[in-house]
Amino acid sequence: MKILPKEAVRQSLFIVLLSAVLGLLVNFFHPHGVKMAMNRPSPRYAADAALAPELSPVHVEGREDDPVDEPAVTGAPIFISKQQAKSLLSEGRAIAVDARLGADYTAGHIPGAINIPYDDLYQYSERLETLPKDKWIVNYCDGPPCDLGEMLAYELINMGFQKVAIYEQGFDEWKDSEPVEKGGQ
Amino acid sequence: MRKAADVSFVALRIVLAVLFIYAGMIKVVNVEAFADQIDNYRLLPYLINALAAAILPWLEIVCGSLLLLGPWRKGAALGLAVLNVMFLIAVTSALARGLDITCGCFSLADAGMRIGVTKLVENILLTAGAFIVYYRTLLVPLKSLVQA
């Protein structure tokens, strides 16, 4: 009894070859295909225009019944830089949400951020419900390879939030140059 | 007794094959997202992760299909056993390094799919299953149902 029969090895090599050809071919034509590159792609930030404040609706007395256009569903969170996160937060147009565990949040977080740990998401449904729909929600965690912020952002999109942003470089980048708040939960 | 062993082996083979076809198909939908997930393991250079993201899902689909349908079943069983060992190594190393990342196993974005003890147990069970299939397909084939 041979542990590694030649026949099986030969077949599996053909299988690898077939899968490689199929995979690379499909990837080439795939709308969500991966680009072959030596280095990890740099973060893809949204254009500043995507974050521009909308014109507030004009309220005319006696005309409250006018039909209001529903805002378009974006269907995807946008990626923002530290600078973009900073200006959104300082202008009061966004709320930062820290998706890390409570202990990490307590050790230090972006000032004013709310803690909603993605890993225990369903224990925090009350906090999720209090998030404003008219402000940007800036999700973050430690920065790559942490993807809790990104996961939480997609969850918020699924819940119907439309102004959802991901500060991908996260707390690792923030704490190097920006003020940090400690404690709380 | 013999028959019970045969039936449970065939059931195991079908379950494993279907699981891997499913796992592969989910990843084929968004290769880019899968590449991100592999890259989050921080095990290999980006280019290798990108290539793996394009090829691995198809390897799962092809191996699963062949294991299910018959031709080249031996090669498929070997392929799945090797794949499972690789996955087990990746998950174990991520867990050992304390990485808080998604597994990239059966989903591209879902709560409860993060690397943890549950994922490790799941991977150990899958690897054990793959080895039983390998053993029964290649080394000590059962006579009755298997060859049917």
* Per-residue model confidence as pLDDT tens digits over B8-40: 888 999 999 999 999 999 889 888 888 888 888
Task: Find the closest chain B residue to A38 by CA distance.
Answer: B47
Give the separation between CA A84 and CA A95, rounded to whole angstroms.
13
Judge whether A163 lies within some domain. Answer: yes
Residue at A49 is within a domain: no
Count how many domains chain A has.
1
| Domains in chain B, number | 1
Give me the domain span that covers residue B40.
2-139
> Are A106 and A183 in contact, with CB atoms under 8 Å apart?
yes
pLDDT at position A71 is: 44
- Do residues B143 and B104 lie in contact, with contact meaning Cβ atoms separated by under 8 Å? no
User: Quick check: is B96 in a domain?
Assistant: yes
Instruction: Tell me the one-letter amino acid at B91.
Output: V
Q: Is residue B144 part of a domain?
A: no
Please name the residues between 142 and 161 in chain A that touch chain B, using a CB distance below 8 Å. Answer: 144-148, 151, 154-155
Distance CA A184, CA A103 (A): 10
- The CATH number of the domain holding residue A135 is 3.40.250.10
Most confident of A142-156, B56-70, B109-123: B56-70
The reply to whether A5 falls in a domain is no
Residue A169 located in a structural domain: yes
- What is the reported pLDDT for A54? 61
Question: What span, in angstroms and rounded, lies between the C-alpha atoms of B28 and A14?
Answer: 20
B148 in a structural domain: no
Closest CA to B54 of A43, A12, A21, A42: A21
Domain extent, residue A137, equals: 73-177
Q: What is the largest CA-CA distance in chain A?
A: 89
Per-residue pLDDT in tens (0 to 9) along chain A, 185 residues: 677 888 889 999 999 999 999 999 999 998 888 888 887 776 667 777 777 776 544 444 544 444 444 444 456 788 898 988 999 999 999 999 999 999 999 999 999 999 999 988 888 888 988 899 889 999 999 988 888 999 899 889 888 888 899 998 999 999 999 999 998 87
Q: Residue B79: which of A12, A22, A151 has the nearest Cβ?
A: A12
Going by C-alpha positions, the residue among A126, A57, A133, A125 that lies closest to residue A93 is A133
In this structure, the number of other CB atoms found within 10 A of the CB of residue A71 comes to 11
- Answer whether residue B147 is part of any domain: no
Q: Is B59 domain-assigned? A: yes
Supply the pLDDT for residue B140.
67
Q: Looking at residue A70, what is its pLDDT?
A: 42
Spatial separation of the C-alpha atoms in residues A83 and A71, rounded to whole Å = 26
Q: Tally A–B CB contacts below 8 A.
A: 120
Q: Is the residue at A1 inside a domain? A: no
The Cα A43–Cα A149 span in angstroms is: 14
Among A37-46, A102-111, B49-58, B71-80, the minimum mean pLDDT is found in A37-46
Could you tell me if residue A121 is inside a domain?
yes
User: What is the rounded CA–CA span in Å between residue A166 and residue A140?
Assistant: 6
